[in-house]
Amino acid sequence: MKYHHGNLKEELISSACMICESLGHDHMSLRSIAKEAKVSQTAPYRHFKTKEDLLAEVSKKGFEDLAEILNQPTNKNNSMTPKERFIEMGLAYLRFGLERKNTYDLMHSPIINKVEYPELLEAASAAFDELVKIIIELNPGISDDDLGRQCIRHWAQIHGLVGLIGDTKIDESMGTNAGDAMSIVTNDLRSFLTMVLEV
């Protein structure tokens, strides 16, 4: 066990993120985080009263990372049209959900009561706001009602795709036709998103 210098809370959150991503949030505990961070078993309790407090921090970090990733198409290439950036954002969301599946699952899990964690709610809202901004750019003058409907529709589409593509047993559970359909989609996600994310 090491004598700790620096920001213990941030180090514990970093360790929790690694464990969540490698093993899933079900395998996380304050003790396992302490072991990963190489600090005493009691150290995490100075910063987190419960496991849910720690899970909320991991989820918040996930939403912060997602917001940054969704913002990259705008920052990287200003020559892209709004629709091209919209497609790139959809692909970025898909990559995040598939490559960081365990974190993504935690971010959308009901085991955290987000209302009790204002900073987590703020981070989740910031990620959603990236979608709101591009929808407004694509639809100047859109009403608040239509904006809300479009945002939920597109979010539901991409969120559903993360679940379907990430389901490695789709061939067995849904039959050959479903498996063939998913193969067509995954072989050319950009074309599929261009079609399904029509604004």
**Is a pLDDT exceeding 80 seen at residue 48?**
yes
CATH annotation of 1-49 = 1.10.10
Query: For the chain, which residues make up each domain, given as ranges?
Result: 1-49, 55-196
Confidence of residue 1 (pLDDT cuts 50, 70, 90): very low
Nearest one of 115, 82, 104, 89 to 21, comparing CA atoms: 104
pLDDT reading at 78 higher than 60: yes
pLDDT bracket for residue 190 (50, 70, 90): confident
Q: Which CATH superfamily is domain 55-196 in?
A: Tetracycline Repressor, domain 2 (1.10.357.10)
pLDDT tens per residue, range 118-161:
999 999 999 999 999 999 999 999 999 999 999 999 999 899 88
Helices (H), ranges, 46-175: 51-76, 82-99, 101-107, 118-138, 144-166, 170-174
Phi-psi group of 60: left, alpha or beta (phi > 0 → left; psi -120 to 50 → alpha; rest → beta): alpha
Residue 182 CA to residue 96 CA, distance in Å, equals 19
- What is the arithmetic mean of pLDDT over 44-50? 87
Question: 184: Cβ–Cβ under 8 A, 6 or more apart, which residues?
Answer: 192
Measured CA to CA in angstroms, residue 30 lies from 38, 42, 89, 106 at distances of 12, 9, 35, 16
Q: What are phi and psi of 106, to 5 degrees?
A: -65, -45
